[in-house]
Amino acid sequence: MIYLDNAATTPMSKEALEAYQQVARHYYGNSSSLHDYGSASANLLQTCRSELSRMISGKAEGIYFTSGGSESNYLAIRSLLKGNEQKGKHIITTQTEHASIHTLCKTLEKEGYEVTWLPVDSNGIIAISQLKAALREDTCLVTIHHANSETGILQPLEAIGSLLKEKNILFHSDCVQTFGKIRIDVEKLHLTSLSISAHKIYGPKGVGALYIDPKVSWKSPYQGATHESGMRPGTVDVPGVASFVTAAQVLEPLMQDRREKYEMLRIFFLKQIHKAWLPISIEGENLKGLPHILGLRVAGVEGQHVMLECNRKGIAISTGSACQVGSQSPSRTMLATGKTADQAHEFIRISFGIHTTIKDLEVTLQALKEIIEERMKRSG
């Protein structure tokens, strides 16, 4: 089986697995317990906190470990809103956010918040001028992702952050797809908070982290929570956290090499599509983005059909973010970029990983050719 769905999740690395086993064996005390076993776990957690904060140029006291990216998004937005109620009840976001943020913002609208849904261009990028025009006296929070999970297109976070810092407006970003792939500097990007996840970088599932600038006030939505400085309830998964940070440490020095590999694979794949005159559109083909994520549309063929046929041929791809697949709704990202419902239903995503080879892509291209030819025969 060829695995090309690394934007959804990744296999755990050897180093991450070994770290999990070692810590589970030797650091099994509850990190909140006052005995020596608990203290050992708490000390290890603090080391992990410091290491993770270093990687994003933040401060250790701003790191809170969670169950993953979705919970981190929820906690960041909820806790910042609750801790800064005096700022107002106006939120700005985009229609192309991850499902966890999109759903939360819809819920917040029902709770009395006013949400401005910024438009995006045909590539899914917001205009700073439109963001500036949308800002109001009562704008309390702006939440805009770093990279789109379906197309890999990057938003201009530094320009957004600079504008919001001038206005003293809270700024959250979902950095789940970018952490471990490109450098993230919370100071340079002027981020109030961000969310990251372990299973996107060859770490364990069910582990993530939230960063909130320690200078900013927040209140947890979980009343009476005692773990993670009162951010959330539940015993912290110390082995999972150690495995997460180990996976990040392995990736950190290799980011540039991996990026160059993915760019090489991307160029090869796109050249072959054009060379074969395949009726495939590439989202944001020439724009700055994450090279390992390819958002494609096969003209006249539903993405779900392409995905199922690829699966039958031993190739795993997806029809978009795993957190909204199954709804049968067309891709929100595609609709927001001006595609019709039928065009949005054509969307598929191919995402490379550390084990992806040229041979994998050759097999995938042949499979796509066969799927297209078969569909043309049926419709002809």
User: Active-site residue numbers?
Assistant: 323
Neighbours of 162 (CB within 10 A): 14
- In the numeric block, the tokens 């960063």 are attached to 211
Kindly give, in sequence order, each residue whose CB lies less than 8 Å from that of residue 121, ignoring residues fewer than 6 positions away. Answer: 127, 337
Phi, psi of 133 (to 5 degrees): -70, -25
- In the numeric block, the tokens 């791809």 are attached to 317
DSSP secondary structure, 270-322, as one string = HHHHHHTT--EEETTTTSSB-TTEEEEEETTS-HHHHHHHHHHTTEE-BSS-T
Contact by Cβ (8 Å): 204, 243? yes
Phi, psi of 324 (to 5 degrees): -130, -5
Kind and range of the H or E run holding 262: helix 255-275
Half-sphere exposure of 229 (CA within 13 A, CB side): 17
How far apart are alpha carbons 354 and 6 in whole angstroms? 9
- Look at the alpha carbons of 319, 320, 323, 326 in this order and tell me if their dihedral is positive or negative: negative
Where would I find the H helices in 63-214? 69-83, 99-110, 128-134, 157-167
Amino acid present at 287: L
Burial of 341: CB neighbours in 10 Å, binned 0-12, 13-18, 19+ = exposed
Per-residue tokens: 215: 């200078």
